A and B are shown apart, each in its own frame.
Chain A
């Protein structure tokens, strides 16, 4: 009984969180729905476990009209203490192979900051039911006194490479809180495609 009540409470909290993400006054229907199991169905195309309610939804519409989405978490503390994660259908780079794509990707990742990335760990992982590549990096900007820890997971959707990434920014002398990456790992681990992509159906 207690478990059932907790499940209902969890669903209510997640529903309230997602409702809070909608633009006030907007008549456009939201692009997601919740399953009774607490999973998000996004535009009938993706299914994933949402992060906890203290993460805010980010929606970025690019110039071509494509929508990418992600979540951001205010970690408290001194600027720039923030963690952001996202799914990207077309990550930087062009190659269909993970190793080349990784090299191309990190030429432009976080290009607004002047960072030299150091690869901390690289390993093969399972992502969306297929083999993928996970790369953990750290970048430092001694001029601004900031640093970032990031995890990038490259996966495949059809012939094309897709990306999941999380970044955690901190003042250069502050410690990271990598426990926050747990929400990202659950997000990636739960991610499923519900239909073929535009490119697969072309």
Chain B
């Protein structure tokens, strides 16, 4: 999340916005965001429907796996990668998408 915060000015340049989604409750996320000085929104999704809908929750496990997705302006998932975010890949993809006019 800290890496996304560092890259916010670049996401802005490529017309992208970042959202974090977690199964933690609102209060936990509030303190966590404060601890990391995050300024972008974190969504609390305790019931997990959002993570399940994009395949972020492995079957039979109570927490989300780490998954980074880029959704374009039509709501189509254009990029998905499990594990820790690869920021340079994400930025190159957003640049390409922005040049194509497919504003994320």
Contact = CB atoms under 8 A, between A and B. Distances in A.
The reply to whether chain A is a binding partner of chain B is: yes
A182 interface: no
Contact of A64 (B6, B37, B84, B92): B84
Interface string A48-81: 0000000000000011111000000000000000
Contacts, number: 35
Nearest to A62: B84
Interface in B25-68: 35-38
Interface residues of A, number: 17
Interface string A72-97: 00000000000000000010111100
Interface in B13-35: 35
A141 interface: no
A62 B2 CA distance: 15
Interface string A153-191: 000000110000000000000000000000000000000
Interface in B49-104: 83-89, 91-92, 95
A202 B87 contact: no
Nearest to A100: B37
A159 B6 CA distance: 11
Contacts of B85: 64
Main secondary structure of the interface of A (DSSP, over half): loop
Given A64-B85, A65-B86, A202-B91, A94 B35 contact: no
Contacts of B91: 199, 202
Interface in A12-67: 62-66
A122 interface: no
A114 to B, nearest CB: 16
Contacts of B38: 94
Interface string A82-126: 000000001011110000000010010000000000000000000
Contact of B37 (A65, A66, A95, A202): A95
Nearest to B3: A90
A92 B5 CA distance: 11
A93 B2 contact: yes
Interface of B: 2-3, 5-6, 8-10, 35-38, 83-89, 91-92, 95
